[in-house]
Structure 1
Amino acid sequence: MKPFRIRLTLILMVMVGVSMIGAGFTMAHLFKDSHVAALEENMSREINLLAGTFKFQDMNAPDAVAYYTEQAEHVAALIGSRVTFITKEGKVIGDSEKNPLEMDNHSNREEELLAAKDGIGRAIRHSETMDRKMLYVAGAVASGHGFDGYIRLSMPLDAVSEVLNRAWMIMAGGLVLLFVAATFVSYRVALGMTSPLEQITRVARRITDQDYDARVPMNRKDEVGQLAAAINAMADSLQNQLKTIRDNEGLLQSVLDNMTGGILMINAEDEIALLNRAAEKMLDVNSTEITGLSYRELKRHYELTRLIEEGISRKETVHEERSIYNPGERIVRLDGVPMQQDESYRGMLFLLQEVTEIRRLEKMRSEFVANVSHELKTPVAAVKGFAETLLGGGVTDEKTARSFLQIIYDENERLNRLIGDILELSKIESKRVALECSPVHLIEFFDSMLETISKVAEKKNISLSATVPAELFIEGDEDKLRQIFLNLLSNAINYTHEGGSVKVTAHNRLKPDGSESVVFTVSDTGMGIPRKDLPRIFERFYRVDKARSRSSGGTGLGLSIVKHLVELHRGSISVESDLGIGSSFILELPLLQEEEES
């Protein structure tokens, strides 16, 4: 016998043996299931018979447990099953094997739950009382004689196991005989089989169906083995190429998903072929819903859609900016290029970049330059005008001359303050200012602060006061805190009428996240701030009362510096004001400053 035939015969014999063993297991399983099902059915009938013939008594009677226990033992002796009487609440009031008073509540047992739902419940599990695997069947019973609960029958599955063992013995003998016969048949069948070629054919078909994990499990040296090796080598090559393609696709998809700019690809049929996450967020669409549809489905962004349509119709590069609303106005720069392959048009590729913040910063820079130029020009022009007057000899009166010189001096001081504030604001905004934090005793801090500005307040007969807990400390940069409150208190005094009052309060606050902060309020009884001006009060060079600001020497940068210094302390500032009544600036600063990560 040739080696190939021997191998094939052995394979067939093993296959027949495995099939027979599998069939045996299947038959045994079916036999066991059918036998258990028959037992369950029989026990269900017994429960129904008991429900119809049993003499029930009131479950709440004093001797109910004794009565039902006695009856359970009597019925168990007749039917050969363990009998249990259970109330609807799961309390055992009678059992043929154990004292009911020592048994747990059965309300959560599987068979009771099923019986409550379907009338009859079945379960198989290990019994702690009997120390063996049991079959339980419970039936819901409601009697007019005071019983409302379940009758449960149970019996061990040992009998089923014994019958199954006998069946296994019979099947084992049959398997031996069948295996001998299969040996002869397998040899005869192997003569005409061409399983190796069929196996190679099957693998080739699986590879054709893109199952590149398929291989021919063959290690032969003949022509069939060489063919199998060639099939396997081809599958290896295809699998490696597919892996490379998938890796590149994954890399490309990762790049698209993590790009900050939006990518929108329109194919030659004017359909949306690709949309990355950034474009989805920017246009407020879902790629899975819109891919394959016409780009005109983006009609809610009318100006953008028109620009895309213009680029597609001309098949030329596009570089434009448009405003979209999602939900507020956003400025988007659209750069589009036509896609060409082998001189054939494949569609348009668009890059969408949001430039709202860039344009806002450009506008702010432009406004800042204009404001600075204007603010610098005013004192310079005043100095020049009065100096020219003095130099021209037009002023002979010494008193008038001194007045002009005082104006020149004041404008120079104002110019110095303006330049100083601009430099300070520039340092803060460029993050070049580092906090030098230390504990600050607030009561001493405000006493020193009020003493510093008391002279100015006395000139206008304005009362100054501070209400600060004596034990309150805060961690912060004392110089920066002094700059914050000096600006706020100076503004409060400047905009408060004679005889008014300015006060500072501070108290500790526990935040919902468990951290602590200190809330400061600087309030005055001044003229107040119009409601329309409140949102812009912290902008650079923004003045509510421009004439009064100029006369008081204000630069228009004080509150902007305050806001930046508060944020540098990781705090917040807000303002409340009523015209003619006064204003209150509310600051909230953390009690402790977190260390910055290096």
Structure 2
Amino acid sequence: MKPFRIRLTLIMMVLIGISMIGAGITMAKLFKDSHITALEENMSREIKLLSGTLQFTDMNSADAVSYYTDQAKLISQLTNSRITFITREGKVIGDSEKNPLEMDNHSTREEEVIAAKEGIGRAIRYSDTLDREMLYVAGAVRSEDGFDGYIRLSMGLDAVTEGLNRAWMIMAGGLVLLFVAATFVSYKVASSMTSPLEQITRVARRITDLDYDARVPIQRRDEVGQLAKAINAMADSLQAQLKTIRDNEDLLQSVLDNMTGGIVMINAEGEFALLNKASERMLDVKNSEMAGHSYKELKHHYELARLIEEGVERNEPIHEERSIYTPAERIVRLDGVPMVQDGSYRGMLFLLQEVTEIRRLEKMRSEFVANVSHELKTPVAAVKGFAETLLGGGVTDEKTARSFLQIIYDENERLNRLIGDILELSKIESKRVQLECSPVHLIEFFDSILGTLSKVAEKKKISLSTNVPNELFIEGDEDKLRQIFMNLLSNAINYTHDGGSVKVTAVNKQKADGTETVVFTVSDTGMGIPRKDLPRIFERFYRVDKARSRSSGGTGLGLSIVKHLVELHRGTITVESDLGIGSSFILELPLLQEDGE
């Protein structure tokens, strides 16, 4: 047993050494991180203090560099750190260590990039100017006195490195002492363990041979005694292990019951062995009724039963889709694999997944691609045709040639608008558009929009009016809101006959749950929308009057973009219309946007 004793001693020493080194590395990292964090917080507070107390001057003035350089040197003496004043464009206009005119543009420095987004930016890197590792903290500052940029403080990390080196020296000394003590203690422990190990091994072998009456007659309080107690408890634990097995079976059953996909198991005799709850709901059957019955009794799903039969008879993996009716049509994907255990065939296992919604979305995507191709082809073909006519010399009349060129120009503009709308819709649907919310004064907001559209309305002698409370504000992304109402009002003007009217109203409303909303109504006296077209009016490329839409320069994506932007604001949009009387688009938007949205 002596070699074993020596090996055990060495193993214990190695484990202790690894633990000590691991603890040392962890403590060193914690020490460094906490110290750097404290420095960052102090420097952030100093920047905020400077932004509130420093006398700023116009950074575009002739003496701005000299002024901010003097200020940087003065503050550097007080804070014992390097001070740098930087414009929004990254130009250094003041530094306590170097001539600003000789310094590179700082717009791409990590701390400035983060500060531009979050207000405060931090970074650690090696400084070529000072030839050492530095901590940089930059804060975005804007002053009414003409300063709009960043104040950056930087400080060397020499103190942190020195403290870390001292900690390593102390830990190294402790490790040597610990190794000496561990050698002595480990040897003693190994000596006390080796003598009863043979007896414990003999008892363990008897228990392995299913002799659960075997016990270790050792009464000690050390680790060997604990091992003996553990072996003695092994037989008693078998019952608990069997209970655990049953619990695991219950857990497996719970997993099967709560799966969203259906599981169907057919045994080697072609009988239902298992149907989970999802498959029961999907096939409208009960496991208790189908268990032990042939899969051929699944008569009301004939196509699915045929597919299961094919998999069972061939004993090969199968991956197909079929439609079932319960009573509505549902598309189900069936994945089947044979169950083989120890070389013997045990039956087939089928996974049923409803893919109705996925296929619907794929169809919509296919239709969208087809519509895009068609919409792109029309202006391209027009441009090509008129350009070929001009290039072929078939038009000698200057007036006709200019009309052809105007058509080419108009079609190119339409193509640009179409591509722009497609890209905008793609960004919105991929959730890459973030709201930049701020309070919007609605009366000023709509005055601006109507002023933009007034000339178009005047050409058709259409009156534009608003009914918006003067004191009403709403929180939202003003650019996105402008895009919504510009689309709706432009459509209203385009589809309203000469001499008609277009009106915008806004009403503050309180819902039953206490939240406040603003209900907007954009109404016109235009041609109206047929009732059959109302459910599809917000679909991409869907047009009620295709000829009128194209002649007005519409891309067919405007209302789809509007709907997505409204939903991005957590709002809703509906439409009401009467043929020959007019249409009303009703938007309901929250008065305030929730944080994090």
TM-score by length of 1: 0.58
Deviation at 1:234, TM superposition (A): 8.5
SS in structure 2 of the partner of residue 383 of structure 1: helix
Deviation at 1:520, TM superposition (A): 1.2
1:268 corresponds to 2:261: no
Deviation at 1:522, TM superposition (A): 1.1
1:363 corresponds to 2:363: yes
1:589 corresponds to 2:580: no
Tell me the equivalent position of 1:567.
567
- Deviations 1:452-505, CA, capped at 9 Å, x for gaps: 111111111111111112222111111101100110111111111111111111
Question: Where does structure 1 lack aligned partners over 5 or more consecutive residues?
Answer: 1-214, 220-228
Tell me the equivalent position of 1:462.
462
Tell me the equivalent position of 1:546.
546
CA–CA distance in structure 2, aligned partners of residues 383 and 550 of structure 1: 15
CA–CA distance in structure 2, aligned partners of residues 406 and 577 of structure 1: 36
- Deviations 1:330-363, CA, capped at 9 Å, x for gaps: 2111011222334443221101122223222222
Instruction: Give the 3 Å change call, closer, same or farther, for CA 288–576 of structure 1 in structure 2.
Output: farther
Instruction: Give the 3 Å change call, closer, same or farther, for CA 463–291 of structure 1 in structure 2.
Output: farther
Tell me the equivalent position of 1:170.
none
1:338 corresponds to 2:338: yes
Tell me the equivalent position of 1:321.
321
Tell me the equivalent position of 2:167.
none
Matched residue type, 1:393:
G
CA–CA distance in structure 2, aligned partners of residues 287 and 521 of structure 1: 54
CA–CA distance in structure 2, aligned partners of residues 475 and 289 of structure 1: 58
SS in structure 1 of the partner of residue 452 of structure 2: helix
Matched residue type, 2:576:
E
Matched residue type, 2:523:
S
Deviation at 1:238, TM superposition (A): 3.3
- Deviations 1:38-90, CA, capped at 9 Å, x for gaps: xxxxxxxxxxxxxxxxxxxxxxxxxxxxxxxxxxxxxxxxxxxxxxxxxxxxx
1:347 corresponds to 2:347: yes
1:309 corresponds to 2:332: no
Matched residue type, 1:589:
L
CA–CA distance in structure 1, aligned partners of residues 352 and 594 of structure 2: 38
Tell me the equivalent position of 2:30.
none
1:404 corresponds to 2:404: yes
Matched residue type, 1:518:
V
SS in structure 1 of the partner of residue 529 of structure 2: coil
SS in structure 2 of the partner of residue 503 of structure 1: strand
SS in structure 2 of the partner of residue 563 of structure 1: helix
CA–CA distance in structure 2, aligned partners of residues 452 and 298 of structure 1: 66
SS in structure 1 of the partner of residue 528 of structure 2: coil
Deviation at 1:369, TM superposition (A): 1.6
SS in structure 1 of the partner of residue 396 of structure 2: coil
Tell me the equivalent position of 2:441.
441
CA–CA distance in structure 1, aligned partners of residues 554 and 260 of structure 2: 42
CA–CA distance in structure 2, aligned partners of residues 516 and 473 of structure 1: 12
SS in structure 2 of the partner of residue 471 of structure 1: coil
Instruction: Give the 3 Å change call, closer, same or farther, for CA 291–447 of structure 1 in structure 2.
Output: farther
1:522 corresponds to 2:519: no
Matched residue type, 2:261:
G
Deviation at 1:596, TM superposition (A): 2.1
SS in structure 1 of the partner of residue 330 of structure 2: strand
Instruction: Give the 3 Å change call, closer, same or farther, for CA 337–474 of structure 1 in structure 2.
Output: same
Q: How does 1:160-239 map to 2 (within 5 A)?
A: 236-239=236-239
Instruction: Give the 3 Å change call, closer, same or farther, for CA 359–471 of structure 1 in structure 2.
Output: same
Tell me the equivalent position of 1:503.
503
Tell me the equivalent position of 1:484.
484
Instruction: Give the 3 Å change call, closer, same or farther, for CA 490–274 of structure 1 in structure 2.
Output: same
Instruction: Give the 3 Å change call, closer, same or farther, for CA 350–522 of structure 1 in structure 2.
Output: same
- Deviations 1:76-129, CA, capped at 9 Å, x for gaps: xxxxxxxxxxxxxxxxxxxxxxxxxxxxxxxxxxxxxxxxxxxxxxxxxxxxxx
Deviation at 1:280, TM superposition (A): 3.4
Deviation at 1:235, TM superposition (A): 5.8
Tell me the equivalent position of 1:243.
243
Instruction: Give the 3 Å change call, closer, same or farther, for CA 282–514 of structure 1 in structure 2.
Output: farther
CA–CA distance in structure 2, aligned partners of residues 241 and 555 of structure 1: 69
SS in structure 2 of the partner of residue 353 of structure 1: strand
SS in structure 2 of the partner of residue 499 of structure 1: coil
Deviation at 1:395, TM superposition (A): 1.2
Deviation at 1:293, TM superposition (A): 4.4
Tell me the equivalent position of 1:98.
none
SS in structure 2 of the partner of residue 482 of structure 1: helix
Deviation at 1:301, TM superposition (A): 2.9
CA–CA distance in structure 2, aligned partners of residues 520 and 340 of structure 1: 65
CA–CA distance in structure 2, aligned partners of residues 248 and 462 of structure 1: 74
Instruction: Give the 3 Å change call, closer, same or farther, for CA 516–311 of structure 1 in structure 2.
Output: same
TM-score by length of 2: 0.58
Deviation at 1:251, TM superposition (A): 4.6
CA–CA distance in structure 2, aligned partners of residues 516 and 589 of structure 1: 9
Deviation at 1:324, TM superposition (A): 2.0
Deviation at 1:422, TM superposition (A): 0.6
Tell me the equivalent position of 2:377.
377
CA–CA distance in structure 2, aligned partners of residues 479 and 344 of structure 1: 67
CA–CA distance in structure 1, aligned partners of residues 354 and 424 of structure 2: 31
Between 512-521 and 309-318, report the one with greater CA deviation.
309-318
CA–CA distance in structure 2, aligned partners of residues 517 and 277 of structure 1: 42
Tell me the equivalent position of 1:394.
394
Q: How does 1:21-60 map to 2 (within 5 A)?
A: none
SS in structure 2 of the partner of residue 507 of structure 1: strand
**Number of residue pairs matched?**
373
Q: How does 1:81-160 map to 2 (within 5 A)?
A: none
Larger radius of gyration: 1
Deviation at 1:308, TM superposition (A): 1.6
Deviation at 1:378, TM superposition (A): 1.0
Instruction: Give the 3 Å change call, closer, same or farther, for CA 581–296 of structure 1 in structure 2.
Output: farther
Matched residue type, 1:391:
L
Instruction: Give the 3 Å change call, closer, same or farther, for CA 293–592 of structure 1 in structure 2.
Output: farther
1:278 corresponds to 2:278: yes
Deviation at 1:545, TM superposition (A): 0.8
Instruction: Give the 3 Å change call, closer, same or farther, for CA 265–376 of structure 1 in structure 2.
Output: same
Instruction: Give the 3 Å change call, closer, same or farther, for CA 289–584 of structure 1 in structure 2.
Output: farther
CA–CA distance in structure 1, aligned partners of residues 285 and 456 of structure 2: 60
- Deviations 1:364-398, CA, capped at 9 Å, x for gaps: 22222211111111111111111111112211111
CA–CA distance in structure 2, aligned partners of residues 329 and 474 of structure 1: 44
Tell me the equivalent position of 1:452.
452
Deviation at 1:561, TM superposition (A): 0.3
Tell me the equivalent position of 1:471.
471
Matched residue type, 2:413:
E
CA–CA distance in structure 1, aligned partners of residues 452 and 296 of structure 2: 67
Tell me the equivalent position of 1:494.
494
Deviation at 1:555, TM superposition (A): 0.3
